[in-house]
Amino acid sequence: MARTLKGLQEVIEVTVVNPRLTDQGWQFGGYPGADEDTLNGVRYLHELYTRADPQVSGRATVPVLWDKQTGTIVNNESADIVRMLNSAFSAIVDQGPNLYPDDLAAEIEALNASLYANLNNGVYQAGFASSQQAYEEAYGKVFAALDELESRLADGRLYLFGERLTETDLRLFVTLVRFDAAYHGLFKCNRNTLRDMPSLHAYMHRVLALDGIAATVNLDHIKAGYYSIKALNPGGIVPAGPGKL
């Protein structure tokens, strides 16, 4: 999203991994809409981690920002990468909204933190809970956060902080756009769907309608990806719905 909004498509290519996580982690190619690694010609993402650091251990996660010139990983933390795309390339391409304006920095940090704890990560805590109590606590946090956002957006503002789109909107959108297709069913966050929350639902569609953003969302990949988590869905059946977001 940040790449598109900042007009960096010509400067930074995107390689989409196969949405079905294998026992070797993320794989390139072999699925509609997934890309081969034409740059390095590897099959699994972990091979790029090893190229970057032969001693590396741990999980090979996406996203990865890869430097073609030095042949290494610049960063693998989405929050950092969004900040980099916002300002680090402005000498080459200077366009798009400032996603992290100085005068909103403190508020952005505060909302990012609570959104992460209650919603972005809250849905995972609900989905991967190993006790009824942990699940119900996470479920409570998720819907309390959604209720708060629903009333925040009910005053007719366009984005979380008013007229200006910020990185916090990107961080919220990516969770909202997955909600009905993945978190409601697989992660048992099923008090209601996003469609049942009119202001939030309209907000999600407002962001989705921004120039180029719909092309960054692949509903089939979202469903195939989440429903291939074996621990939660051993049979691997992917639900047919929802028909639309």
The binding site for ligand GSH (CB under 6 A) comprises 21, 25, 59, 61-63, 77-78
**Measured from the CB atom, is 201 or 225 closer to ligand GSH?**
225
Smallest gap, in angstroms, from Cβ of residue 148 to ligand GSH?
A: 22
Q: Closer to ligand GSH at the Cβ: 16 or 21?
A: 21
Give the whole-angstrom CA distance, residue 213 versus residue 4: 7
Measure CA 32 to chain center.
20
**The CA-based dihedral angle spanning residues 155, 123, 23, 35, taken in that order and rounded to the nearest 10 degrees:** 0
Reported as type and span, the H/E element at residue 74 is strand 72-75
- Helix-helix angle 105-115:167-178, to 10 degrees: 20
Least Å distance between CB 62 and ligand GSH?
4
Q: How far is the CB of 129 from ligand GSH (least distance, A)?
A: 17
DSSP 150-181: HHHHTT--SBTTBSS--HHHHHHHHHHHHIII
Minimum CB distance to ligand GSH, residue 156 (Å): 31
* Residue in the block written with tokens 């919603």: 119
- 237 vs 239: CA distance, rounded Å: 6
CB of 242 to ligand GSH, least distance (A): 21
Give the three-state DSSP class for 17.
strand
- Among residues 4 and 175, whose Cβ is nearest to ligand GSH? 175
**Cα–Cα distance for residue pair 24/153, rounded to 1 Å:** 42
